[in-house]
């Protein structure tokens, strides 16, 4: 009989399923905001509601040869974490003291939003190349946990108390 996954593994697997909805041509990212073992909201990266997706009009960042982790404003899409925060807000759901499960480490824009929204911890399974985001996370009170137990680009598995 297959071993039952932990809640952290369960929610991370869901984040990977959510990422399958992404319309980004470069990176498929999924995010879940969870509190008390209940999902508050989900998000994946893609264009705003009602607008054409990059899969339809092409990737602006690719066309301009912008490296990953730089010039976040030059993109049609929102990040998975941003969409999860927005979805919670649209439906009046507080995400204060929640946990983010995300397929990648957040960028600096998302980190600032997560800090101000009161997210208390982040579980991730893949890296995103953003040194400032990592520095700000280290300054914050947010615990960041690599579910793969790897040290990816400077973020170590840690639990801040």
Question: In the 8-state DSSP scheme, what is residue 68?
Answer: T
Backbone angles phi, psi at 128, to 5 degrees: -130, 130
Q: Specify whether the backbone of 118 is left (phi greater than 0), alpha (psi in -120 to 50) or beta.
A: left
Catalytic residue among 3, 81, 121, 156: 81
CB atoms within 10 A of CB 43: 28
Any catalytic annotation for residue 13? Answer: no
Contact predicate 9/33, CB 8 Å: no
Residues known to be catalytic? 81
């Amino acid at each position: 009989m297959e071993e039952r996954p932990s809640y952290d593994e369960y929610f991370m697997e869901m984040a990977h399923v959510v990422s399958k909805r992404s319309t980004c041509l470069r990176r498929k990212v999924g995010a879940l905001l969870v509190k008390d073992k209940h999902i508050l909201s989900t998000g994946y990266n893609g264009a705003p509601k009602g607008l054409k997706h990059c899969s339809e009009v092409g990737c602006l960042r690719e066309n301009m040869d912008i490296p990953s982790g730089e010039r976040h404003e030059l993109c049609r899409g929102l990040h998975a974490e941003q969409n999860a925060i927005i979805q919670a807000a649209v439906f009046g759901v507080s995400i204060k003291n929640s946990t983010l499960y995300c397929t990648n480490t957040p960028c600096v824009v998302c980190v600032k939003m997560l800090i101000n929204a009161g997210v208390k911890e982040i579980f991730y399974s893949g890296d995103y190349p953003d040194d400032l985001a990592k520095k700000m996370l280290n300054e914050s009170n947010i615990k960041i946990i690599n579910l793969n137990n790897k040290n990816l680009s400077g973020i170590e598995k840690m639990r801040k108390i």
